[in-house]
Each structure stands twice: as structure tokens, then as C-alpha cells.
Amino acid sequence: MIGCYSDTSTELRVDVLMKYDYDPIPLDYPHALESEEMLARAQDYVDLISRRRSVRHFSEKPVPREVIEACLQAAGSAPSGANHQPWHFVCVSDSDIKRKIRVAAEEEEQAFYSGRAGDQWLDDLHGLGTDAQKPFLETAPWLIAIFAERYGFDDSGEKQKNYYVPESVGIATGLLINALHTIGLATLTHTPNPMKFLSKILGRPANERPMMLLVVGHPAPDAKVPRAATVKKPLEQISSFFE
Ligand code: IYR
């Protein structure tokens, strides 16, 4: 397994990759619940998470960096291929950088909406009411650019293979969205296409691929969401059981 710890005088901090031999330790989990309590809690959780929306109208109200950091710790706890944790989250509240990102994203979106997408794709987006204008990239207090590490480096600087990268980064992003929603913040998973401009603006290395831009903040008091996006497939359609 790969772990990464370095001792500082005050705390154990993660920054150097080290290999571990197999060393099983006891599972530290909350105690098991009775079925009824389990179901009640699952239903409460459904109530909470099914109210998440992709929000495009943000308030300018600031969100403390510490809040973002705590949610990133939740994201960083995600399972990943060989526990290589092939993700990097670049958090931007700097207005100049946000403006640069908006300008570059809108340039790509302009090309997308005026032909690159094709009629079918534009038709599929019709109910969402999206267009090439992305003012939320400047209004929202935080943009989190999520990068997938296509390969990493071990402590001697050798290229290190990563595994199940999109799956791992997708799970970590899901946990991040969940954490942010749980504390009442709104998010938008924004995917301007192509996203190479993010690597350039944010100075990320060639082994990282930009995956997504997560827009984060308080929703605007008069925020609206497209009705079409609230319609979710019923359980019968998204699941099957063999019992
Ligand atoms: N990236 C564009 C288009 C877009 C694509 C999909 I797939 C969406 O679910 C929503 C939008 C945009 O952000 O407008």
C-alpha cells in the first residue's frame, strides 16, 4: 500500500510517498444500527441529498477557506485504485484568476453553443436553459478545479502508474459535492470543453488532466433551477435485485 507521512514537530503531515508492507489493523467503525434505525437514517439521508441541485445562480457571500479545506478532507478520504489518490484540487477565490477562467471558459462555450456541440447535444441541453454565458464563474466565492493525475511519481522521482483514475476522481468529487451540500452550500459541476486552459491558468503539470470545475458558494437568494433537472429516474429503473 502507498501511504505518505512526514513527521513535523507539531503534527503528522502527509507529504512524502512511502511504501508499506501489509499490516492489518482493527477496523474503527461506528457501532452497527438496528434495521429500523438504519432505514430511518437512510431515509433522512435521501431527503437531504435528493434536494441537491446543480446551481447556476450564486451569492457573492464569502465562504471561509477552512470550510473548503474540511470538505476537501472528506473528498480526500475517498477510495482509489491502489490507494494512489490520483487527484488534485485547485481552489480559487482570487478574482483575477476567476476572471481569467471565466473568459477562457466562455470562449470554449461560445464555440460549443454555436456549432461544436451539434444539434443533438444542444437539443438534449434544451431543458437546462444553459448558454455560453458563465457569470457564476466570477460571482461564486470559490472555484475548485479538479485534476486527475494520469500517472504519479514515487519518492525517487520515477513515474508511477495510477489505476482506475476517472473512477477514483469521480468518487472523490462525489464525496466533495456531498460534503458541500450537507453544510448548505451550492455547487455546479461545470465542464467547459476542452478544459486545457485550466492547466495553463493554474500552472498544473503535464501528468494532470483537468476533469471538472466545481463552482461553490451560497446560492443567490433568488436562485432558480431548471425543472427538467429535478426529474430523477425511479428506483425501479436504476436498480435490479436478485434475492
Ligand atoms: N459545458 C456546457 C454544456 C453542458 C453540457 C452538459 I453534458 C451539461 O449537462 C450541461 C451543460 C455548459 O456548461 O454550458
Ligand 1: residue whose CA is nearest its atom 6: 125
Strands 87-92 and 12-19: unpaired
Which residue's CA lies nearest to atom 1 of ligand 1?
192
Average pLDDT over the chain, rounded to an integer: 93
Burial tier of 192 (Cβ tally within 10 Å: 0-12, 13-18, 19+): buried
User: What is the 166 CA–ligand 1 centroid distance (Å)?
Assistant: 19
Residue 79 has pLDDT above 80, yes or no: yes
Q: Is 6 in the pocket of ligand 1 (CB under 6 A)?
A: no
Q: What is the pLDDT of residues 157-208, one digit of tens each?
A: 999 999 999 999 999 999 999 999 999 999 999 999 899 999 999 999 999 9
Given this model, what pLDDT does residue 19 score?
A: 75
Tell me: the pLDDT tens digits for 7-19?
Answer: 333 334 344 456 7
The whole-number pLDDT of residue 20 equals 82
Task: Name the maximum alpha-carbon separation found in the chain.
Answer: 60
Tell me, what's the pLDDT at 143? 99
Judge if the beta carbon of residue 191 lies within 6 A of ligand 1: yes
Q: How far is the CA of 146 from the centre of ligand 1 (A)?
A: 16
Query: Which distant-in-sequence residues (6+ apart) come within 8 Å of 172 by Cβ?
Result: 75, 76, 78, 80, 85, 87, 146
How close is the Cα of 26 to the center of ligand 1, in Å?
Answer: 44
- Asked if residue 193 has its Cβ within 6 Å of ligand 1, the reply is yes
Distance 190 CA to ligand 1 centre (A): 7
Choice from 53, 124, 128, 130 to test ligand 1 binding pocket (greatest atom count within 8 A of CB) = 130
pLDDT of 12 reads 42
Probe target for ligand 1 pocket from 128, 136, 137, 213, with the most ligand atoms within 8 Å of CB: 128
What is the rounded CA–CA span in Å between residue 112 and residue 222? 28
Ligand 1 centre and the CA of 55: distance in Å? 13
Calculate mean pLDDT across residues 138-156. Answer: 96
Task: Work out the average pLDDT over 140-165.
Answer: 96
Asked whether 192 lines ligand 1 (CB < 6 A), one says yes
Q: Are 1 and 163 within 8 A, CB to CB?
A: no
Residue 154 cell numbers, joined: 514515487
Report the atom number in ligand 1 closest to the C-alpha of 128.
10
Note the pLDDT of residue 17.
53
pLDDT digits (tens, 9 = 90+) for 86-129: 999 999 999 999 999 999 999 999 999 999 999 999 999 999 99
- The mean pLDDT value for 79-92 works out to 98
Q: Which residues pair with 145 in a beta bridge?
A: 90, 213
Binding site membership of 54 for ligand 1 (Cβ less than 6 Å): no
CB 200 within 8 A of CB 32: no
pTM score of the predicted model:
0.92
